[in-house]
Amino acid sequence: MPRPGRSEPDRRRRRGAPAGDEDPTVAASPRSAGRKRAPSGEDPTVAASPRSSGRKRAPSGEDPTVAASPPRIIGGDLRRRRLAFVPDPRTRPMKDRVRESLFDLVGTTVRGTLAIDCFAGSGALGFEALSRGAARALFGERHFPTADRLRVSAAELGVTDRVEVRPGDVLLWARRPPPIPTSTPWLVFVSPPWEMFASRRDDLKALVAMFQAAAPPASLIVVESDTTFDPAGLPSPDDWTARAVPPAVLHFFHRPNT
């Protein structure tokens, strides 16, 4: 029972607690002594976290770990295996969601094909095709250290005997087509840096036209572009079908079976 003649605020001031509705145990907590008050609405434990200090915030909606993580194979025999890829500004790995949609659309067509991964980069498309039943994969990559990483991936995945890596500029294939076996259908992936659709438009068109002319029956050619690309820039534009998978658009050309 409180002693008469002394109000509750008086007793608080005598004990050193501020008057009002504050809880005196909070103000006296040794863990809060000397700690700066966080701005209104912020959790002070987050502001003080050493993991977040000095870290730049990623743009809204972007996962900062994606660009730094080696791609992972999504389906098939090699599912969940990561590739021996070192992130580099020269490469733009296809987003996992776009790659998954692509192979959902390709379906069983991949089985038994020769997968040709132009502008291979990480090799995610070619290795994904191997995982899902392609007989072999041919990778074209102009950056020689990246081409070496493709060989490392093949060795780590145990598919060296089914992989061929050809370093060099694949855009030159339109002028001097390399020897490519035609005993099985091709599954051709043309997924260049998107700026090439403007800066190397004619060269890309010539490359795709070469594949259209040289591919054996039952082959499939897939071109990945951004949403600003005009499909009229493809050779024989009426023979293509398109599927939007933001931020990309997938364009498909089927070579007849006969």
> Residue 91 has what pLDDT?
66
Class of domain 96-254: alpha beta
Q: Closest by alpha carbon to 15, among 26, 24, 4, 2?
A: 24
> Residue 86 has what pLDDT?
75
What pLDDT, in 10s, does the model give residues 156-193? 999 999 999 999 999 999 999 999 999 999 999 999 99
- Per the CB < 8 A criterion, the answer to whether 115 and 57 are in contact is no
> Residue 13 has what pLDDT?
47
> Residue 243 has what pLDDT?
97
C-alpha–C-alpha distance, residues 188 and 221, integer Å: 5
pTM for the predicted model, two decimal places: 0.74
Q: Which long-range contacts (CB under 8 A, 24 or more apart) does 13-19 make?
A: none
> Residue 69 has what pLDDT?
77
> Residue 92 has what pLDDT?
66
What does the domain layout of the chain look like in residue ranges? 1-27, 96-254
> Residue 70 has what pLDDT?
83
Q: Which residue positions in the chain have pLDDT lower than 50?
A: 1-67
- Per the CB < 8 A criterion, the answer to whether 135 and 160 are in contact is no
